[in-house]
């Protein structure tokens, strides 16, 4: 590998990241943004509309890599602010615990979670957000769905890469799977 690693941001250049993707799994975080009522019950699930790794326009959760020497909490905050905007105000505990671990494979038949670029291991979190969300960067839209809508056939049809299953797992983890 070349000596051109971005040490300020702990990021590899495109050639190096491709070489790594071909040799080792990468660590990711998946964040399912939710709105809750005053009792903490999930009332809405936020999903982005964006281009997925497989090239399809798809409904998906907030997702991204964990950088070298980055805490999981910091990676969650970075990706939530990047995708939902700086005024989303996610409520992430000091020591967050994932509700599941997801393995994305290049072959969709292995786990049902699919990423054509690489094998990735992702820690998945349900994250309440309390502020105004405005999709940024690559997101085309952000929509909020009730738990019933989030697992409906119409919404599931808009998802790829296993994110429909991830939404069901997230809702089950908070006792809100319809």
Residue whose entry in the numeric block shows the structure tokens 């190096």: 16
Segment 103-141, tens digit of pLDDT: 999 998 999 999 998 899 999 999 999 999 888 766 778
Contact 124, 163 (CB under 8 A): no
Checking if the pLDDT of 56 tops 90, the result is no
Checking if the pLDDT of 167 tops 70, the result is yes
Q: Quick check: helix, strand or coil at residue 19?
A: helix
Which one, of 75, 74, 54, lies nearest residue 64 by Cα? 75
The CATH fold assigned to 14-173 is Nucleoside Triphosphate Pyrophosphohydrolase (3.90.79)
For residues 29 and 65, what is the distance between their CA atoms, to the nearest angstrom? 6
Contact 91, 81 (CB under 8 A): no
The number of residues in the chain equals: 178
Contact 48, 161 (CB under 8 A): no
Checking if the pLDDT of 41 tops 90, the result is yes
Which one, of 35, 105, 29, 25, lies nearest residue 65 by Cα? 29
Lowest mean pLDDT among 3-7, 21-25, 36-40: 3-7
The partner residues of 128 in beta bridges, in order of sequence, read 34
For residues 37 and 130, what is the distance between their CA atoms, to the nearest angstrom? 10
Q: Where are the domains of the chain?
A: 14-173
For 136, half-sphere exposure in the C-beta direction (CA atoms, 13 angstrom radius) is 14
Which one is predicted more confidently, 86 or 168? 168
Which one, of 111, 127, 107, 101, lies nearest residue 27 by Cα? 101
For residues 8 and 120, what is the distance between their CA atoms, to the nearest angstrom? 23
């Amino acid at each position: 590998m070349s000596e051109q690693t971005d040490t300020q941001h702990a990021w590899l250049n495109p050639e190096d990241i491709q070489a790594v993707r071909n040799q080792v799994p990468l660590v990711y975080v998946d964040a399912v943004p939710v709105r809750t009522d005053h009792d903490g019950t999930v009332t809405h699930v936020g999903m982005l509309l964006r281009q997925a790794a497989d090239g399809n326009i798809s409904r998906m959760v907030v997702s991204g890599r964990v950088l070298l020497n980055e805490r999981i909490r910091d990676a969650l905050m970075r990706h939530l602010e990047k995708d939902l905007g700086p005024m989303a105000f996610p409520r992430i505990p000091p020591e967050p615990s994932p509700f599941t671990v997801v393995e994305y494979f290049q072959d969709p038949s292995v786990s049902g979670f699919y990423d054509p670029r690489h094998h990735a291991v992702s820690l998945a979190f349900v994250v309440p957000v309390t502020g105004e969300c405005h999709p940024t960067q690559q997101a085309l839209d952000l929509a909020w769905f009730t738990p019933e809508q989030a697992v409906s056939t119409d919404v599931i049809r808009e998802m790829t890469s296993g994110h429909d299953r991830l939404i069901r797992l997230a809702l089950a983890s908070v006792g809100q799977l319809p």
